[in-house]
Amino acid sequence: MRIVVANINTTENITRAIHEQALGAAGPDTEILPVTPTFGPASVEGNFEGHLAAVGVIDRIIAIEEPFDALVVAGFGGHGREGLTELLDVPVVDITEAGVQLACLLGRSYSVVTSLHRTVGQIRDRLRLAGLDGRCASVRSVGMSVLELERDTARIGRHIVQEAAQAVDRDGAGVVCLGCAGLVGLAEQVQDEVGVPVVEPVAAGVGLTETLVDLRLRPSTIGSYSTPQRKDIAGWPLTRS
Amino acid sequence: MRIVVANINTTENITRAIHEQALGAAGPDTEILPVTPTFGPASVEGNFEGHLAAVGVIDRIIAIEEPFDALVVAGFGGHGREGLTELLDVPVVDITEAGVQLACLLGRSYSVVTSLHRTVGQIRDRLRLAGLDGRCASVRSVGMSVLELERDTARIGRHIVQEAAQAVDRDGAGVVCLGCAGLVGLAEQVQDEVGVPVVEPVAAGVGLTETLVDLRLRPSTIGSYSTPQRKDIAGWPLTRS
Amino acid sequence: MRIVVANINTTENITRAIHEQALGAAGPDTEILPVTPTFGPASVEGNFEGHLAAVGVIDRIIAIEEPFDALVVAGFGGHGREGLTELLDVPVVDITEAGVQLACLLGRSYSVVTSLHRTVGQIRDRLRLAGLDGRCASVRSVGMSVLELERDTARIGRHIVQEAAQAVDRDGAGVVCLGCAGLVGLAEQVQDEVGVPVVEPVAAGVGLTETLVDLRLRPSTIGSYSTPQRKDIAGWPLTRS
Amino acid sequence: MRIVVANINTTENITRAIHEQALGAAGPDTEILPVTPTFGPASVEGNFEGHLAAVGVIDRIIAIEEPFDALVVAGFGGHGREGLTELLDVPVVDITEAGVQLACLLGRSYSVVTSLHRTVGQIRDRLRLAGLDGRCASVRSVGMSVLELERDTARIGRHIVQEAAQAVDRDGAGVVCLGCAGLVGLAEQVQDEVGVPVVEPVAAGVGLTETLVDLRLRPSTIGSYSTPQRKDIAGWPLTRS
Amino acid sequence: MRIVVANINTTENITRAIHEQALGAAGPDTEILPVTPTFGPASVEGNFEGHLAAVGVIDRIIAIEEPFDALVVAGFGGHGREGLTELLDVPVVDITEAGVQLACLLGRSYSVVTSLHRTVGQIRDRLRLAGLDGRCASVRSVGMSVLELERDTARIGRHIVQEAAQAVDRDGAGVVCLGCAGLVGLAEQVQDEVGVPVVEPVAAGVGLTETLVDLRLRPSTIGSYSTPQRKDIAGWPLTRS
Amino acid sequence: MRIVVANINTTENITRAIHEQALGAAGPDTEILPVTPTFGPASVEGNFEGHLAAVGVIDRIIAIEEPFDALVVAGFGGHGREGLTELLDVPVVDITEAGVQLACLLGRSYSVVTSLHRTVGQIRDRLRLAGLDGRCASVRSVGMSVLELERDTARIGRHIVQEAAQAVDRDGAGVVCLGCAGLVGLAEQVQDEVGVPVVEPVAAGVGLTETLVDLRLRPSTIGSYSTPQRKDIAGWPLTRS
């Protein structure tokens, strides 16, 4: 099968890291097609950038010419998944939901550790709408931006280990889900140092997507996710070939 | 004071109707500045169109050159309010929250009556995130699109009266909030025929916004709504002068 | 328009402070009619006093002879609003709900800072019934009684600043709502020193009430708030002219 | 032990019926002392009357001269229990909470059947604050006033059976709690005809109160229910000996 | 009346302590029949042991030959109550629900203090399913196993006092419920030293059970708790006479 | 990898059907090892039988001699998963959680269609504890027992289609999850006739389990799911080799 894995920002380095994660999780017969939006911010931290990223990722996905079997939206905190589900007839999986679902299978409660403090509220809202907040012990942040994380993996590792340890000790979490895409290799490090299972959300997204494709499950086309009516859309798509 | 009232779709007729509603609600010293996005769908019904509208309305607002004291985002169901709050230092009020807040002051529980069935889930989610779902008796739809509503006010009036009456009789609502912007004159009709208070959300939005400006209250700038960090944003703004 | 602003305790000094707040918030064409109950406690802190205050304020309101357009019940924590809504056909606004509604328009989550610790539970319950607890970060108290607050504004200012700062730092609040009526001038002080928007609830109550009157919205008369049936009421009203 | 059972309205016939229920439930060594307020409405249906009843019942209780071991507040929907708990150092049990607690011990979910439709919202709010709404299948009303119920037991029996049957069939209730005090003999009738356990709340209140007294448990005196501070209370108590 | 009080583990010493507690709470005409399972763990701390205990207690109860009027399941955290309710036509009361119900009658919020940390999650889940979590301030543990508690009452007393005091000071609890059966004499000690009411759950269970029997209330036999269909059950009952 | 798929009842025909489903979902390198308990009921419908089944399945699993990589507990409604997680160091997946997680990835809300009405409450409770009830539109039953379902697939198909259609039309579900293991071939039939995605929970369980094994994720060993302390367990295991 062919799975598109979409970075939600325009930074190619992050796309590469996401690609690497996805490849590590994918089965032998799965082809991963990584894509990078050409519209939107270099990293997504907050509501304004999230609005742009949602449109950027939709714009990029509908421009894909080859057929694909499923889509993983690889931005933690949720960006455009609902709209894409309306447009596509293949599974669309948000790594936020995928990561947290696997975490729920591994322990009674989980914590998310993410980048900047300003995204904590957004992630909480996302989990609430997904109906996955009931077993959330906490959402913690390391106070570093996505682009800093990308640059200095060693330093970020220490910070994530520290917050993950506090999630376990103070908040009672039994599992940790990384709250950021593209942190290659960090899940293992945190797992080893903190002693609880750590879910890397891009890998989780790829695994759940493969399962949906294998079981021939496609998104619901009635109600909330039904195909949009045809109507004039000014300036759309952003990118014309 | 000068309040910008932003339509969220590109249909000028709807902007005119919203403008009319806003003028009817505004105080004598309030100037209403109506704006229409130049990017996005002709009407907003669903998640995909909502993603586009959020960006379209932000793009239009940041292009305004004259100063203004507050912004009303006049699309029921929520589109871009959070992102705009991050960018502006004046109050940004979403008519969804404004309409439902006033409804809560008038009765123990309220219902929303909106256009197409497909938007019901989105409105429920919006109310949930706003923390205003606790007293929601129901969200009902008339099964007509926004553009149909705009064209045939007489027919839509009958449908809204019918759903509002069922909200009262079956769901126990004591108040009704119209779930669509630009339905000029319908609040009075429904109120007269159904016998419960009916909130028109654009008017509610203007009233609450005037109150915030009068009390010199501005949005919080810490945490979730803090100003975005400076970073590269490809293709932004959409509209360059 | 004429708005009655009802103190809920029998202390005239507090009525004066509330009146001052209300005047500062009211529009140029709004007349504020302050009233003080003749029955009930000198200040309201807890359930027993709250029961008395509800009856005291109702008793005072129904004795008003001149017509009025709306009523603001100026006791934080809720006292008699529901009963008054049943009796009157004009809007009745509780400053608890008004203050917190405006707070919700300004940030993702809010905290209340109130007087004595013993009222915290009551305020939480009030917010829960109002359906406004979903975005409440915390309810904090300064451990001083209402009458102490009234006497020593300087000292109370320091305490409220301290608790408000902790609400922001520890509980993640983005906005603070003062949890007590009649703290003239304190909202500005706290706002300046803590750096988040601070809502003064009497002002909020007046603003929302003006909006309801301007929009000609009146309370629902079906279901929970319908007019009581005629029946014998022993000893009522307390005050006969 | 001596248990005061307080009617919350001024109708002696209802006090007699409540007394009869209480005697049927009390143990051989329990003395029941029935009291009737001298202030307040002839029956309590709605918020205004509820405010008055709370004060009427407190006024009556603090005038009792003989010692007593506990108090049952026999008005369904809650009236003054919190305030009385602050004033007394013996257990104060509201029949709403007592009835519903026993119902929860007998089935997975319960329904309440009450008098007028207008009280449904108030009962729901009461259950919510009591933290007992989680297993509530529905609150239904027969559309008859408390005074009608008192007069025509045969007719009311049929109506309650009908609503109870619908609570079971449509709402999935496994147990029914009568939502009104003083319906002597009706619990048995409904139980026989509907085939589910039916809790009579005055009996439940007496039973739970005896248990608390037997176990020497007294209400908490810290936080929300601590003794009120001494202060001036104008016009209080209403009844002076 | 005759009430069976079932220990859920196989340790006779704990059965004796439970018996002593039950006798202290029972009325003069109540006969307590203590039973000990012959299958299952020596103490129950966690899910695996809870599964075994549920079956052990059911197995023991259905082997009782003499008639009885009610059953108290004396294991905090819930073990087999639902299944036993399906099998018996007399009241079956779990001490978890009984203890917490009485706690809710005594204060606005309560905390549970239990043995090992590993049972905290299970107790929280139990309270959630019972619909009794709404007023739970916290569930705290002393970090000692049930068998240690049994051996060293003096030391455990100090630990429970310490956690109970923190429940009051930090978590805002107004009442404490002991989260373990068979801690004879500890409720009084904690009550004296911490200054809030302390509920001993076995006593609570006996009191509520007596009330149900006195009021001739039996469990619902429709829906969730209806009698199981006859079918083959391999290896059951475990104990054959 | 080798995945054990455990039937929770003693009926070999159902084990065979579950095996068939599991094989259809498993990847080419996955070996499915089906097991049938030797203790417990022939089918599991209700709490009593659920208690027995939990012990029966644990007893069977710990007797397995060959190594395995993960366990799927194939009884809808949850039986023993938590206890097994404490005992094993490989992933243990309950098909209830697995089925509903996949359903949540496919639509905004889902319904479960199960066998007998008596199991509806239990399934709701299970979903609540799993934190997966937030997006549940309804749990419906066809009123047929598990053993009837097994015998008459054609008739059951019609009933499930009927309930699934009502879940979509009346309850607003966008996805259906079958609430019973071993209904071979029914997911496709319901999907075709009702027009929404239908999740077969055994297949979902196998898919998620494979993902967990592929990602080398193992259950949390701290807190709720930590390994039980060593202690005497009378009569255990039930089955000795």
pLDDT tens per residue, range D2-15: 999 999 999 999 99
- State how far the Cα of A109 lies from the Cα of A106, in Å rounded to an integer: 9
If pLDDT is split at 50, 70 and 90, which confidence band does C9 have? Answer: very high
The nearest CA of chain E is from the CA of C46 a distance in Å of 12
Q: State the complex-level ipTM.
A: 0.96
Which residues lie across from E40 on neighbouring strands? F234
User: Could you give the 3-state DSSP secondary structure of residue C126?
Assistant: helix
pLDDT one-digit tens code per residue, A52-63: 999 999 999 999
Specify the number of domains making up chain F.
Answer: 2
Do residue D100 and residue D192 come from a single domain?
yes
pLDDT of residue F223: 86
Q: Which residues make Cβ contacts (< 8 Å) with residue B58, sequence separation at least 6? A: A48, A51, B80, B83, B84, B87
**Per-residue pLDDT at C185 exceeds 90:** no
Which residues from chain E sit within 8 angstroms of residue C121, using beta carbons? 108-109, 172
Percent pLDDT > 70 in chain E is 99
Residue C238 lies in a domain: no
Which C positions 11-30 lie with beta carbon below 8 A of chain B?
25, 27
**Per-residue pLDDT at A241 exceeds 70:** no
Residue C151 lies in a domain: yes
Handedness of CA C61, C64, C70, C75 (dihedral sign): negative
Q: Which domain holds residue E86?
A: 2-94+203-225
If pLDDT is split at 50, 70 and 90, which confidence band does A117 have? Answer: very high
Which residues from chain C sit within 8 angstroms of residue D118, using beta carbons? 223-224, 226
- State how far the Cα of A178 lies from the Cα of A201, in Å rounded to an integer: 7
Do residue A13 and residue A101 come from a single domain?
no
H and E: helices and strands count for chain E: 9, 10
pLDDT of residue D241: 54
The answer to whether C143 contacts chain E (CB < 8 Å) is: no
If pLDDT is split at 50, 70 and 90, which confidence band does C145 have? Answer: confident
Percent pLDDT > 70 in chain B is 99
pLDDT of residue B240: 67
**Per-residue pLDDT at B149 exceeds 80:** no
pLDDT of residue D112: 98
pLDDT of residue E200: 97
Do residue D192 and residue D209 come from a single domain?
no
Do residue A168 and residue A111 come from a single domain?
yes
* Among D93, D206, D215, the residue to mutate for chain E (most E Cβ within 10 A): D215
Which residues from chain A sit within 8 angstroms of residue E121, using beta carbons? 108-109, 172
- Which residue among F118, F223, F235 sits closest to E226, beta carbon to beta carbon? F118
The nearest CA of chain A is from the CA of E142 a distance in Å of 15
Do residue C47 and residue C90 come from a single domain?
yes
Residue of D nearest to E24 (CA): D215
Type of residue at A3? I
**Per-residue pLDDT at A31 exceeds 60:** yes
CB contact under 8 A, A211 and F212: no
If pLDDT is split at 50, 70 and 90, which confidence band does E149 have? Answer: confident
Do residue E90 and residue E100 come from a single domain?
no
pLDDT of residue F240: 67
Which residues from chain A sit within 8 angstroms of residue B234, using beta carbons? 10, 37-42, 56
Residue of E nearest to A173 (CA): E121
Identify the helix (H) or strand (E) that includes residue D42. none
Q: Which residue, D98, D109, D136, D107, is CA-closest to D120?
A: D136
Q: Which residue, E216, B236, C190, is CA-closest to A235?
A: B236
Do residue F100 and residue F196 come from a single domain?
yes
- State how far the Cα of B241 lies from the Cα of C228, in Å rounded to an integer: 62
- State how far the Cα of D195 lies from the Cα of D191, in Å rounded to an integer: 5
Type of residue at B183? L
- Which residue among F56, F226, F232 sits closest to E118, beta carbon to beta carbon? F226
Q: What is the mean pLDDT of residues B64-69?
A: 97
The nearest CA of chain F is from the CA of E59 a distance in Å of 10
Do residue E165 and residue E214 come from a single domain?
no
Residue C232 lies in a domain: no
Using a 10 angstrom Cβ sphere, with 0-12 exposed, 13-18 middle and 19 or more buried, the burial of residue B65 is exposed
pLDDT one-digit tens code per residue, D60-118: 999 999 999 999 999 998 789 999 999 999 999 999 999 999 999 999 999 999 999 99
Half-sphere exposure in the Cβ direction for F218 (13 Å, CA): 15
Which residues from chain E sit within 8 angstroms of residue F50, using beta carbons? 83
Residue A33 — φ and ψ, nearest 5°? -110, 100
pLDDT of residue A185: 80
Q: Tell me the CATH number at E40.
A: 3.40.50.12500
User: Which of the listed ranges B104-108, D178-182, E141-145 does the model predict with the highest average pLDDT?
Assistant: B104-108
Do residue F123 and residue F186 come from a single domain?
yes
Residue C237 lies in a domain: no
pLDDT one-digit tens code per residue, E58-93: 999 999 999 999 999 999 987 899 999 999 999 999
pLDDT of residue E146: 79
pLDDT of residue C211: 98
C/D interface, count of CB pairs below 8 Å: 150
C/E interface, count of CB pairs below 8 Å: 4
Q: Are C164 and C183 in contact (CB under 8 A)?
A: no
- State how far the Cα of A112 lies from the Cα of C105, in Å rounded to an integer: 27
Which D positions 99-138 lie with beta carbon below 8 A of chain B?
120-121
Residue A189 lies in a domain: yes
- Which residue among E42, E46, E129 sits closest to F86, beta carbon to beta carbon? E46
**Per-residue pLDDT at B78 exceeds 90:** no
Q: Are C203 and C25 in contact (CB under 8 A)?
A: yes
User: Could you give the 3-state DSSP secondary structure of residue C111?
Assistant: strand
Neighbors of chain D with 3 or more C-beta pairs under 8 Å: B, C, E, F
Neighbors of chain E with 3 or more C-beta pairs under 8 Å: A, C, D, F
Residue B233 lies in a domain: no
E43 CB neighbour count, 10 Å cutoff: 25
- Which residue among D42, D48, D226 sits closest to C232, beta carbon to beta carbon? D42
If pLDDT is split at 50, 70 and 90, which confidence band does B154 have? Answer: confident
**Per-residue pLDDT at B241 exceeds 60:** no
pLDDT of residue A97: 97
- Which residue among A39, A85, A87 sits closest to B234, beta carbon to beta carbon? A39
pLDDT of residue A78: 79
Q: Are C115 and C149 in contact (CB under 8 A)?
A: yes
The answer to whether D47 contacts chain C (CB < 8 Å) is: yes
Chains C and D touch (3+ CB pairs under 8 A): yes
Residue A210 — φ and ψ, nearest 5°? -60, -40
pLDDT of residue E78: 79
Mean pLDDT rounded to a whole number for chain B: 94
pLDDT one-digit tens code per residue, A135-190: 999 999 999 887 887 777 778 889 999 999 999 999 999 999 999 997 878 999 99
Residue of E nearest to F237 (CA): E40
Residue A231 lies in a domain: no
Neighbors of chain A with 3 or more C-beta pairs under 8 Å: B, C, E, F
The nearest CA of chain D is from the CA of F122 a distance in Å of 9
pLDDT of residue A239: 82
Do residue B173 and residue B144 come from a single domain?
yes
**Per-residue pLDDT at B70 exceeds 60:** yes
The nearest CA of chain C is from the CA of B138 a distance in Å of 15
Helix axes D201-214, E95-106, angle to 10 degrees: 90
The answer to whether F58 contacts chain E (CB < 8 Å) is: yes
Overall size of chain D counted in residues: 241
CB contact under 8 A, A54 and B58: no
Do residue D185 and residue D67 come from a single domain?
no
- State how far the Cα of A167 lies from the Cα of C64, in Å rounded to an integer: 58
Residue D239 lies in a domain: no
Do residue C115 and residue C210 come from a single domain?
no
Q: What is the mean pLDDT of residues C96-119?
A: 96
Q: What is the DSSP letter of F148?
A: H
- Domain boundary among the residues E185, E200, E215 is at E200
Q: What is the CA radius of gyration of chain B?
A: 17
pLDDT of residue F132: 95
Q: Are E64 and E87 in contact (CB under 8 A)?
A: no
User: Could you give the 3-state DSSP secondary structure of residue A112?
Assistant: strand
- Which residue among E27, E195, E225 sits closest to D108, beta carbon to beta carbon? E225
Q: Mean pLDDT per 10-residue run, chain F (241 residues)?
A: 97 96 96 98 96 97 97 92 96 98 97 94 94 95 85 84 97 96 88 97 98 97 92 91 54
D68 CB neighbour count, 10 Å cutoff: 17
